[in-house]
Amino acid sequence: GTLAGVVEYRNVTFAYPGAESPVLSNISFTAQPGQTIAIIGSTGSGKTSLLSLLPRLYDPAEGEVLLDGVPVSRMDRADITRRVALVPQRPYLFSGTIEHNLRFGKTDATDQELWEALQVAQGDEFVRAKKNGLGSRISQGGTNVSGGQRQRLCIARALVSRPRVYLFDDSFSALDVATDARLRAALKGITADATVIIVAQRISTITEADQILVLDNGRIVDRGTHQELLETSPTYQEIVES
Ligand code: TTP
Ligand code: MG
């Protein structure tokens, strides 16, 4: 079959424009289709910055980010956007209907696809409860829905676009533990052959990840499964105990 959704960071070092010191140093990892890779680390450790390099919100100073073996620096952003969906840490909704927000990036999605995505994202109930359903209006910035609802709509939007690679930046932390667990269980089916990279705060969100990268001050200090890290990584143990 064709390779689709292989993500590779190769010795990536990155500093924000104008900044003196890098926020990411020598980052290397590979994520394969069918895998879930989790990134964990304290605030400011560089998790959001790391994700931002794949959709080319920024380009690294050194090293390469590759998608299916091709450096993303040689791909145009529209091509990357078709294959990679980023659910940002501060999910953004624009003024318009829920339907309009969900179809962003895949305008020809059917209503059934929208409802399926909402169901996986645990957002179907609150949308159905609204008088106008999918036609309900969202105000600029999504201020008329709660933080957790906004997150679920942004997750549903990513699902509607059917990417090869999903990037979830802390997308589950505004959800209660039970909703988080239901959402991830539903997500498993729909993302089974995609590549999933999850930034998380909560350990329970990532215990089943194929690989967990522990980020500290812009470096991957440890990597492994939950069980391996419990046995080998003092930094991970600290996070688990916190
Ligand atoms: P982040 O990559 O935002 O760190 P994080 O995502 O791990 O943190 P959190 O858990 O709070 O979400 O930031 C890493 C460093 O980069 C930090 O010193 C802030 C800096 N930074 C910028 O200078 N500009 C930016 O646009 C961002 C996102 C971060
Ligand atoms: Mg972040």
User: pLDDT tens across 31-81, in order?
Assistant: 999 999 999 999 999 999 999 999 999 999 999 999 999 999 999 998 999
Predicted TM-score (pTM) of the model is: 0.95
Q: Taking the alpha carbons of 105, 80, 191, 140 in that order, is the dihedral positive or negative?
A: negative
Ligand 1 and 218: CB distance under 6 A: no
Q: Is residue 148 part of a domain?
A: yes
For 220, the domain range is 7-241
Share of the chain above pLDDT 90, in %: 81
Degrees, nearest 5: CA angle 117-174-220: 95
Residues bordering ligand 2, an ion, CB closer than 5 Å: 47-48, 89
User: Does 1 have pLDDT greater than 50?
Assistant: no
Q: Which carries the bigger pLDDT value, residue 225 or residue 94?
A: 225
User: Does 201 have pLDDT greater than 90?
Assistant: no
* Pairing of β 36-40 and β 195-199: parallel
> What pLDDT score was predicted for residue 202?
84
Query: What mean pLDDT comes out for the span 9-38?
Result: 97
Least confident stretch, 8-12, 143-147, 178-182: 143-147
pLDDT band, residue 3 (cuts 50/70/90): low
Q: Which carries the bigger pLDDT value, residue 242 or residue 65?
A: 65
Q: Is residue 202 part of a domain?
A: yes
Residue ranges of E strands in the chain: 7-14, 24-31, 36-40, 62-67, 70-71, 84-87, 96-97, 137-138, 165-169, 195-199, 211-216, 219-224
User: How much distance in Å is there from the Cα of 16 to the middle of ligand 1?
Assistant: 10
Q: How far apart are CA 75 and CA 68, in angstroms?
A: 11
Least confident stretch, 143-147, 167-171, 190-194: 143-147
Q: Is residue 147 part of a domain?
A: yes
Query: What mean pLDDT comes out for the span 17-32?
Result: 96
Kindly give the number of the ligand 1 atom that is closest to the alpha carbon of 170.
12
Q: Taking the alpha carbons of 72, 73, 74, 79 in that order, is the dihedral positive or negative?
A: positive
Across the strands, what pairs with 197? 37, 167
Q: Is residue 189 part of a domain?
A: yes
Q: Distance between the two ends of the chain, CA-based, in angstroms? A: 43
User: Does 107 have pLDDT greater than 70?
Assistant: yes
Q: Which carries the bigger pLDDT value, residue 14 or residue 144?
A: 14
Q: Which carries the bigger pLDDT value, residue 213 or residue 206?
A: 213
Give the chain's largest Cα–Cα span. 53
With b for 16 or more beta-carbon neighbours within 10 A and e for fewer, the 159-186 pattern comes to bbbbbbbbbbbbbbbbbeeeebeebbeb
Token pair of 50, please? 């790391």
| Number of independent structural domains in the chain | 1
Average pLDDT, the chain: 93
- Give, using CA atoms, the residue closest to atom 19 of ligand 1: 44
Test site for ligand 1: of 12, 49, 89, 199, most ligand atoms within 8 A of the Cβ: 49
Which CATH number characterizes residue 214's domain?
A: 3.40.50.300
Give yes or no for a contact between 67 and 54, defined as CB atoms under 8 angstroms apart: yes
Q: Is residue 36 part of a domain?
A: yes
Q: Is residue 90 part of a domain?
A: yes
Q: Is residue 1 part of a domain?
A: no
Share of the chain above pLDDT 70, in %: 99
Assembly ipTM? 0.98
Shortest CA distance to 242 belongs to which of 201, 212, 198, 190?
201
Q: Is residue 85 part of a domain?
A: yes
pLDDT band, residue 2 (cuts 50/70/90): low
Which residues, 6 or more positions from 188, have their beta carbon under 8 angstroms from its beta carbon? none
Which residues, 6 or more positions from 44, have their beta carbon under 8 angstroms from its beta carbon? none
